[in-house]
Every structure is written in structure tokens, then in C-alpha cells.
Amino acid sequence: EKSWILMATARSPTNIAVIKYWGKRDEELILPVNDSISVTLDPDHLSATTTVAVSPSFEQDRMWLNGKEISLSGGRYQNCLREIRKRARDVEDEKKGIRIQKDDWNNLHVHIASYNNFPTAAGLASSAAGFACLVFALAKLMNVKEEYGELSSIARQGSGSACRSIYGGFVKWAMGNNPDGSDSIAIQLAEETHWNDLFIVIAVVSSKQKETSSTSGMRESVQTSALLKYRAETVVPSRVLKIEEAIRDHDFASFARITCADSNQFHAICLDTTPPIFYMNDTSHRIISLVERWNQSEGTLQVAYTFDAGPNAVMIAPNRQAAALLLQRLLFYFPPPQDTDLTSYILGDKSILQ
């Protein structure tokens, strides 16, 4: 039989949560204890690009991440592969003379190559972009026709936060009620263009890998933090409503206030966990102080900050001017080494330097 190869490529950006997901009620299906809300970044900066290929000559499923082979034996990859294969359809490529029938997908193996367009060493979350992209690329290859909501629930089974990267713009991951997870899906709150002025600045404080993975951190918090229960039941539901309103109305002050408060509460839960988890370091704390002082001195909120399971600061400015001022201040308080070429020091949109 003539051998052949068929490929598909997808690209997905990472997302930054402004209402954090922290804690699972079901670890197997990855079902959260609260809703979360995020903003998906622009794909030109922090994104994953994944190509998947299928060929009868492939003997097993394999994957390469940034050119290095990684194991696919983990449950998360297997969940995504299984769920997409279940929904695979017939594929025909007349030019190449290829016909794959629905059931053939169970006997065909895939090779997956994924790249991040940002330095992996920067310690920036990449699993959100990675799993969303894997699901998109596999769905494209296998002619899966499911709606984005359903694709998000498959990406969720790779990495919880990945379900939010299925959409651009502002996205809510609704925790859902069903025990099978079928309603724990991402919903787009606003399109990419809705709040175009917002500008995101990420300060890479440390490129070290985090010491406590989000999976074990969440597990420990769910088991030991009383604050987590209070947050999930009492705080998040009203915050979600308020920040949805702020996003709808472009109300930056309200958006920023809730974003900072939610990041701080997430890290408070980490401290409330036994043994305590420290994701932020001294530099992170200094950045918070800097932004808080600036916000107070101006009377209106200039910048929001938020930190995930690591020390790197993600700051959101209402417009380019505020972002440029923020950068000026950051460079003043955290001066780069002498003779540093600032254009190479800054990831992403360099127009901010002008």
C-alpha cells in the first residue's frame, strides 16, 4: 500500500486570568470549584503553534515540544487524544488519493510538533496555549465538527486554563454543575476588538520553573485552606458579575480593582495552605507596591497587576501611554544591566519604546 502523510496546523495564544481558577472539585475531569475569567493575548506574542500529522507508516503517537521529544503517556495528553478521536469523521483528500474513514482513526497514529513563540525558559505559563492548540490542530486533522464550547471542554481535560484559550478576547470558564463536566466550558464574553486600548506588559521576574506545580498546589489548597471554600462560595460569584459589567462598560478602574484583589486573594489562599505555598518573591512584592503607590497617587487606577503560580508580573494598562509610563517606572526601579539593548529586553510589542 502506498504510504502518505496528512497534516494540519493551528496556532493559539495563551490567556491571563483576571479571576483565578484555583482548586478542582474533580481531578480526573478537571472540574473547578469556581468560575474564572481571562483575557486571551494577541497570538503574535505568546502563542503555541502545533502541527499534527497522520500516516499509516507511524507506529505510535509521538510528540515534540520545541524540537525535543516528550512523553505522551500522561493522562492529560491521552484524554485529549481520546476525546478528539471519538469525534473524528471521514476525511478525503482527492488530490493525494487519501480516504480515511471515521473508524480508521482508532488505528492510525499521529505525530505532533509544537512550538512556543516565546522563550520557554521565561517561565511563562505555556500549557494553556499548548493544549488549546493541540485540540484545535487534532480537530482540524480529524475533521471534527464540534462547536467551540465542546472543544473547550476537551482542552480543559488537558489543562484547566487551556479551555479559555479556545476563544480570543474576554472569556469565562463556567464551572458548570454536571458531574460529567459537559457544562464546564468556556464562553466568550467579548470579542478581541472589544477593548482594543488595553495594553499588557509582562515582567519576567524569574525564569526558574515553579517549585509547586499548579496541580499539587491546588490539591493541597482544596484539602487544607478554609479561605478557599469561602472564596469559591462567597467571593467569586459576585466578583464575576462585577468584572463582567466592568468589561462590558470598559470601566478600567473597576476592572483593575477586581483584578488586583483577585490575584491577591489567590496568593492569600496559597499562604493559607498547609504547608504554605509561595509563588511570589520579593521582586513580585516590590512590583505590587510600586503599582499600588502609583495608583493611589493618581487618584484613579492606572494599572492592574496579576500573578499566576509563579513570580512573574502581568500588568494591564488602560492604553499605550499608561503602558509606556509603566515601563519607564519599571526600568527605573529595576534597571536593566548596563549596555542592555532595550529592544531585545522587551518581549512582544516594541512600539511601546517609541
Helix count (H) and strand count (E) of the chain?
10, 16
Residue 215 or 254 having the CB closest to ligand PMV: 215
Q: Under rule CB under 6 A, how many of the chain's residues touch ligand PMV?
A: 14
308 lines the binding site for ligand PMV (CB under 6 A): yes
- 20 belongs to the binding site for ligand PMV (CB under 6 A): yes
Least distance (Å) between residue 159 CB and ligand PMV = 4
The secondary structure of 108-139 as a DSSP string is: -EEEEEEEESS-GGG----HHHHHHHHHHHHH
Please give the Cα distance from 288 to 177 (Å, whole number): 35
Per CB under 6 A, does 21 bind ligand PMV? yes
Compute CA distances 10 → 49, 136, 204, whole Å. 6, 6, 26
**Cell 516590590 belongs to residue:** 286
Cβ count near 230 (within 10 Å): 14
Distance between CA atoms of 203 and 315, rounded to whole angstroms? Answer: 8
The minimum distance between CB 325 and ligand PMV, in angstroms, equals: 27
Residues of this chain, 113-152, that bind ligand PMV according to CB under 6 A? 125, 127
User: Residue 208 CB, nearest distance to ligand PMV (Å)?
Assistant: 16
Nearer to ligand PMV, 126 or 302 (CB): 126
Comparing CB distances to ligand PMV, the nearer of 105 and 279 is 279
Q: Which amino acid is at 261?
A: A
Asked if 17 is part of the footprint of ligand PMV (rule: CB under 6 A), the reply reads yes
Task: Report 35-74 residues binding ligand PMV (CB under 6 A).
Answer: 36
Residue 177, C-beta contacts closer than 8 angstroms, at least 6 positions apart: 183
Cα–Cα nearest to 161, from 135, 137, 127: 127
Nearer to ligand PMV, 63 or 314 (CB): 314
Least Å distance, CB 347 to ligand PMV, is: 19
**In the complex, what is the shortest distance from the CB of residue 271 to ligand PMV, in angstroms, rounded to a whole number?**
14
E strands in the chain = 6-13, 15-19, 24-26, 31-32, 36-40, 47-55, 62-65, 68-70, 91-93, 98-100, 109-116, 170-173, 186-190, 199-203, 304-306, 313-317
Interacting residues with ligand PMV between 156 and 185 (CB under 6 A): 159-161
Extended beta strands in 128-266, E state:
170-173, 186-190, 199-203
Nearer to ligand PMV, 159 or 184 (CB): 159
In the complex, the smallest distance separating the C-beta of residue 286 from ligand PMV, rounded to whole angstroms, is 21
What is the C-alpha separation between 322 and 292, in angstroms, rounded? 14
Site for ligand PMV contains 206 (CB under 6 A): no
Using CB under 6 A as the binding rule, whether residue 309 contacts ligand PMV is answered as yes
Residue 53 vs 269, nearer CB to ligand PMV: 269
Which is nearer to ligand PMV, 313 or 322 (by Cβ)? 313
Site residues (CB under 6 A) for ligand PMV? 17, 20-22, 36, 125, 127, 159-161, 214-215, 308-309
